[in-house]
Copies of this chain bind each other. A is one copy, B any other.
Amino acid sequence: MIIVLKADVKEEAIEKLIDKISGQGLIVHDIKRGGVGRMLGLVGDIPQALEDSLDRVDIVESVLKVREPYKLSGRRFHPEDTVVSVGDAKIGGGNFAVIAGPCSVESEEQILSIARDISNSGAKFLRGGAFKPRTSPYSFHGLGLDGLELLKIAKQKTNLPIVTEILSQEHLENFAEDVDIIQIGARNMQNFTLLREVGSLKKPVLLKRGLSSTLEELLMAAEYVINGGSDQVILCERGIRTFETSTRNTLDLSAVPVLKQKSHLPVIVDPSHGTGYWYLVEPLSLAAVAVGADGLIIEVHNMPQNALCDGQQSITPEVFHHLMKRIKRVYEAVHEMK
């Protein structure tokens, strides 16, 4: 880390700062080369509290961070790709996988029918909401624990591992037991208590990017989960909030190669929430494959017009079946010659 000092700072104040820093076990290089201003170079393992406080010191002009703030989720000390696996199903490190299912679990018949269909089409994981975060307290909030039970039945019949969202710490035990990949939704990406506790379960975690979170903040959220105990984290781009209103969110596909460069974690894309319209799911799924995503999470509903939530962005099993074939073709085209 390099600290650039303001012009005309008193020698006394500089010495006080150097003392403060070296008092924490760091080596400080005092760089006085004329013309470009006085700088301090810091060597050693910089405590976060010190780092947080430096740009508030009044003699400091600016602080140049040479290192990114994430460690466990970054590639620097973990160059090889992480592979997240549940049984035979894998995501990351060359393993491409599609997660599919309805926005919310509505009935045994519904979830079973969809699970069978998507499995036949080649999906590797079943998604389905049991606990649903909704903007209105008067909207449908999911079947709760009953929904989890229905997901378990669907898993028994189809062998598809389950992906579902946790909303509250009170359900940690249930999720630990019944859920294969625990999803943390966009609205909870900075619910740090939840991140840490879910991490402590040491299970695979699907972490969605917040609506207005930078990629660095997403990696810091992953850092909480890994620091909490689980290194099986999947990152998910699901659209950010912008001024554009013709789509529900703006799907940021550049996020995929940027995240994969900075991090070893698998990166998947959610074209359903990312666009908000079923007719955009197909083109954006193919684009996500082409941009290098490790997987997709897609909303599929057998009767979208009657869905209890987000029907507008769900595709039917028939459309999904056709899409899976196209995904396969594009995936091959992209990966046969890198």
Contacts and interface: CB of A to CB of B under 8 A. Distances in A.
Interface in A267-292: 274-275, 279-280, 283-284, 286-292
Given A135-B220, A305-B56, A307-B56, A246 B333 contact: no
Interface in A44-91: 48-49, 52-53, 55-58, 61-62, 64, 66, 69
A243 B243 contact: yes
Nearest to A62: B64
Contacts of A325: 337
A156 B329 CA distance: 40
Contacts of A23: none
A137 to B, nearest CB: 5
Interface in A315-336: 325-326, 329-330, 332-334, 336
A284 B251 CA distance: 13
A149 B256 CA distance: 41
Residue of A61, A223, A257 ringed by the most chain B CB atoms within 10 A: A257
A73 to B, nearest CB: 11
- Kindly report how many copies of this chain are found in the complex they form together: 4
A280 B66 CA distance: 22
Interface residues of A, number: 105
B307 A280 contact: no
A66 B330 contact: no
A230 B104 CA distance: 29
B305 A280 contact: no
30 contacts: A2-B36, A4-B64, A27-B35, A29-B33, A31-B31, A31-B33, A36-B41, A48-B138, A52-B140, A52-B309, A55-B312, A56-B311, A62-B64, A69-B135, A69-B136, A134-B192, A135-B190, A240-B242, A240-B244, A242-B242, A242-B243, A242-B250, A243-B243, A244-B252, A250-B250, A256-B283, A287-B291, A329-B334, A330-B334, A333-B333
